[in-house]
């Protein structure tokens, strides 16, 4: 199957609006079950594959996502370009709620996750170059598409990936800020590195749902507000990807 673009939906994006003539695919992988069925269909005149990272009912927490199975499933269907849509918190002052960021760097604070396809018996050990964790050509396509769609995005930024599912303490965010992180999320890794191991083009659309702890004016982060901001940012995703696909 020829897949023009694969999209992994994060919190708030459990199906792909506008996807037509859909088919569902339950893929058996050597790494167990993916988060759910891969849904393929037509969008903007091209073939798109969509997978909800947390399951279509948000039943899979970030530290339990089978990232290897998810990427393997998309790859086995013929995907070569993958856009990960990630809900994040903003650390940098200009990355507040409803802002869309296309990061160019990542720092991994997660633990206990399967981070490589190499750690199965008999697998080839690959020491991949991960200096630039996102595919620059795909990042540029997303930035250009957003510009042509009239949607403001921030080019670049460092995504700090934490374990979750809890939100971070003020002290943890202060440390991440000292480390150079601009955003904080729970699902950016190992997704990016697994895509690289499969030689997939991969880029991230980071949707800011809230300021991280200690970075905004709110005394406490409201889950209701988070999902309201996330819904507003998520609504822009099909417009960006539609322009990207039309070329």
75 is an annotated ligand-binding site residue:
no
Consult the annotation and say whether 40 binds a ligand. no
Which residue intervals of 36-187 are DSSP H helices?
A: 67-76, 136-149, 170-179
Residue by residue, DSSP assigns 87-120 as EEEE-STT--TT-EEE--EEEE---SS---TTSS
- Cβ contacts of residue 33 below 8 Å, gap of 6+? 66, 69
Place of tokens 């269907």: 77
Contact criterion met (CB below 8 Å) for 193 and 199: no
Q: Please tell me whether 25 is known to bind a ligand.
A: no
234 labeled part of a ligand binding site: no
Q: How far apart are CA 226 and CA 87, in angstroms?
A: 9
Region for 180 from its dihedrals, namely left if φ exceeds 0, alpha if ψ lies in -120 to 50, beta otherwise:
left
54 is in an annotated binding site: yes
- The answer to whether the annotation marks 212 as part of a ligand binding site is yes
Contact status, residue 42 vs residue 19, Cβ threshold 8 Å = yes
210 labelled binding-site residue? yes
What is d(CA 193, CA 216) in angstroms, rounded to the nearest whole number? 31
- Which amino acids are annotated as binding site for phosphate, given as ranges? 11, 53-54, 187
- Which amino acids are annotated as binding site for substrate, given as ranges? 186, 210-212
- Which amino acids are annotated as binding site, given as ranges? 11, 53-54, 186-187, 210-212
């Amino acid at each position: 199957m020829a897949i023009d673009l694969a999209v992994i939906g994060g919190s708030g994006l459990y199906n792909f609006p506008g996807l037509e003539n859909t088919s569902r695919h339950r893929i058996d992988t050597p790494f167990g079950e993916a988060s759910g069925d891969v849904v393929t269909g037509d969008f903007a005149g091209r073939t798109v594959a969509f997978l909800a990272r947390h399951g279509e009912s948000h039943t899979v927490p970030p530290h339990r996502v089978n990232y290897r199975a998810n990427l393997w499933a998309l790859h086995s269907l013929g995907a070569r370009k993958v856009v990960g849509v990630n809900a994040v918190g903003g650390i940098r002052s200009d990355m507040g709620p409803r802002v869309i960021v296309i990061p160019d760097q990542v720092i991994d604070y997660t633990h206990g996750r399967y981070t490589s396809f190499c750690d199965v018996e008999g697998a080839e050990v690959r020491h991949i170059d991960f200096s630039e964790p996102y595919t620059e050509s795909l990042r540029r396509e997303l930035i250009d598409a957003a510009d042509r769609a009239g949607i403001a995005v921030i080019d670049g930024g460092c995504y700090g990936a934490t374990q979750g599912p809890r939100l971070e303490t003020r002290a943890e965010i202060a440390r991440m800020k000292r480390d150079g992180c601009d955003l904080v999320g729970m699902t950016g890794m190992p997704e990016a590195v697994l895509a690289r191991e499969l030689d997939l083009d991969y880029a991230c659309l980071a949707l800011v749902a809230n300021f991280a702890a200690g970075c905004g004016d709110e005394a406490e982060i409201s889950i209701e507000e988070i999902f309201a901001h996330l819904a507003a940012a998520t609504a822009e995703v099909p417009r960006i990807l539609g322009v990207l696909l039309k070329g």
